């Protein structure tokens, strides 16, 4: 399997896990984080965060405008403060639709990349990756990390395990 196909497969696999672990949340559950210290951020935050990450990668490697609203970026982007209880988020349908758009744009960058593009540096330096190929790979790993967070969230909320 060549690099392009591998990156697309890894990215799509991570998205499949995210959907499997997060699609059955209700709007009410999506804004809850469970109880106690160290609790995971709400599902709505996790989805917004992952959309912001993919959006950032897209912008660092060619896209001109962000797809996500600035209000969501302020709450969920990398480096945003922990959301306090009562934080409001867009409806789940809007978050899933945004994730679809950011994912499609990310995969579009991979599909249109030349072999040399996979080694191309981002427009501005980034502490998490140094090339397009690494950025797409790291975004998928990061998404799977958040699938684990959603697993912990499911447990905190008393939702059934997946699988």
List the structure tokens of 147.
Answer: 């699938």
Is the pLDDT at 35 greater than 70? The verdict is: no
Q: What is the dihedral of CA 71, 158, 149, 63, to 10 degrees?
A: -40
Architecture per CATH, 3-157: Up-down Bundle (1.20)
Where would I find the H helices in 61-91? 70-76
SS3 41: coil
The whole-number pLDDT of residue 159 equals 94
Give the residue from 115, 71, 73, 89 showing the smallest Cα distance to 33.
Answer: 89
pLDDT in tens, 89-129: 999 999 999 999 999 999 999 999 999 999 999 999 999 99
Q: pLDDT at position 36, please?
A: 62
The percent of residues in the chain predicted with pLDDT above 70, rounded, is 98
CA atoms within 13 A on the CB side of 124: 5
Average pLDDT over residues 5-30: 97
Residue extents of the structural domains in the chain: 3-157
Across residues 39-63, what is the average pLDDT?
93
- Give the tens place of pLDDT for each residue, 85-100: 889 999 999 999 999 9
């Amino acid at each position: 399997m060549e690099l392009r196909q591998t990156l697309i497969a890894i990215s799509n696999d991570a998205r499949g896990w995210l959907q499997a672990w997060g699609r059955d949340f209700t709007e009410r559950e999506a804004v809850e984080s469970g109880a106690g210290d160290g609790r995971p951020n709400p599902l709505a935050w996790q989805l917004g965060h992952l959309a912001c990450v993919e959006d950032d990668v897209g912008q660092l490697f060619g896209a001109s405008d962000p797809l996500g609203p600035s209000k969501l970026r302020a709450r969920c982007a990398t480096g945003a403060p922990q959301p306090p209880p009562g934080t409001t988020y867009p409806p789940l349908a809007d978050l899933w639709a945004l994730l679809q758009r950011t994912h499609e744009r990310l995969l579009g960058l991979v599909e249109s990349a030349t072999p040399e593009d996979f080694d191309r540096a981002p427009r501005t330096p980034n502490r998490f990756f140094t090339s397009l190929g690494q950025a797409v790979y790291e975004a998928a790993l990061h998404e799977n990390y958040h699938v684990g967070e959603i697993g912990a969230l499911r447990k905190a909320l008393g939702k059934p395990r997946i699988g």
